[in-house]
Amino acid sequence: MNSDSQSAPRTPARILSTDPASLAEAARILLAGGLVAVPTETVYGLAADATNGAAVTSIYTAKGRPSFNPLICHVADLAMAESLAEFSPLARALAACFWPGPLTLVLPRKSSCPVHELATAGLPSIAVRQPQHIATLEIISRVGRPLAAPSANPSEQLSPTTAAHVAAGLGSRIDLIIDGGACRAGLESTIIAPGEEGAVMLRAGSLARSEIELLTGPLRSPDHAKGIVAPGMLRRHYAPRARLRLGAAAPESGEAFLGFGAPPRGVSPSLNLSIRGDLAEAATNLFAMLRTLDESHDSIAVAPIPETGLGEALNDRLRRGAAHSRENGL
């Protein structure tokens, strides 16, 4: 459905609620090869039938995403995931503990896996997740196939946490948006590759390292010599238009200031991720607040955020967003 000529003008995507008729319409569009933005607990995803090569290609085209960057396949349940990937005892234990939820597992792809190789960027592995959003789980169940669904935003830009964010970035490039409200977690899923020698954290996310390590033991860092093996590994990512200056105690002239915790005396943040210093609240607010400040400022100073707990993922997103500023001389 999204294979219209690139030169033909497209009308903005419809935005529907999560009522049964709307979810049925979303499933119909997906089965016909279209693109539907769906809500999850992390960020909104741009979904397509993962077994349909043309539909998967439409994801890359709509986002402007490089095809070497693999996609996460979202499943309705563990049984669907096990039809796609080889689960070790550790992988099964992680799924049992954290699914549905913000954990993506990168596992060996089964030889019988029906997912199109474009969704896995031709890799022998596949990234799978069961999201924690009743509307999207219902859509996957209605489709009866895994859905490839990266974040529903133009590549390298800020991830969307509301339907309005999706409409602003991709509204004329996709077929439908399901409005499930604001995303609860606000950051993408944590990506883990459980292996014979322990588990590797490929991307920090909405599930903190400390929670996962209760099952896995210490998580190892990825071997970057192996290249991109999961989403979120590009150095430049999650970027606003404005320059980001990290670890700032106070704004410079003309800068917006994104605070965290109680601000220093005499400093009035433009917005505060969490006045209480709550990392979960900060994660929920990060992308939405960056979007707000990005609309009216060319430079955003960001207060220091601890590296503990969800702070690891928050700082990861900010550093990757700031790489855009450095590479473009902002």
Q: Residue 241: pLDDT above 50? A: yes
Q: d(Cα 5, Cα 243) in Å, to the nearest integer? A: 35
- What is the chain's mean pLDDT, rounded? 93
Q: Average pLDDT, stretch 308-320?
A: 96
Contact, 222 vs 200, CB < 8 A? yes
The helix (H) or strand (E) run that includes residue 200 is strand 198-203
Against a cut of 0.85, is the pTM above it?
Answer: yes
The CATH class of 14-226 is: alpha beta
Query: Could you tell me the pLDDT band of residue 197, with boundaries at 50, 70 and 90?
Result: confident
What confidence tens digit (pLDDT) does each residue in 272-313 have? Answer: 999 999 999 999 999 999 999 999 999 999 999 999 999 999
Task: Say how many C-beta atoms besides its own lie within 10 A of residue 185's C-beta.
Answer: 22
The CA-based angle 147-64-60, given to 5 degrees, is 30
Q: d(Cα 237, Cα 215) in Å, to the nearest integer? A: 29
What confidence tens digit (pLDDT) does each residue in 252-264 have? Answer: 999 999 999 998 8
Q: Residue for token digits 């049964």?
A: 20
Domain boundaries, the chain: 14-226, 243-327
Nearest CA-CA partner of 34 in 61, 72, 7: 61
Q: Before 100, cis peptide (omega within 30)?
A: yes
Q: Which residues pair with 103 in a beta bridge?
A: 190
Tell me the two tokens of residue 124: 């022998």
Contact, 30 vs 139, CB < 8 A? yes
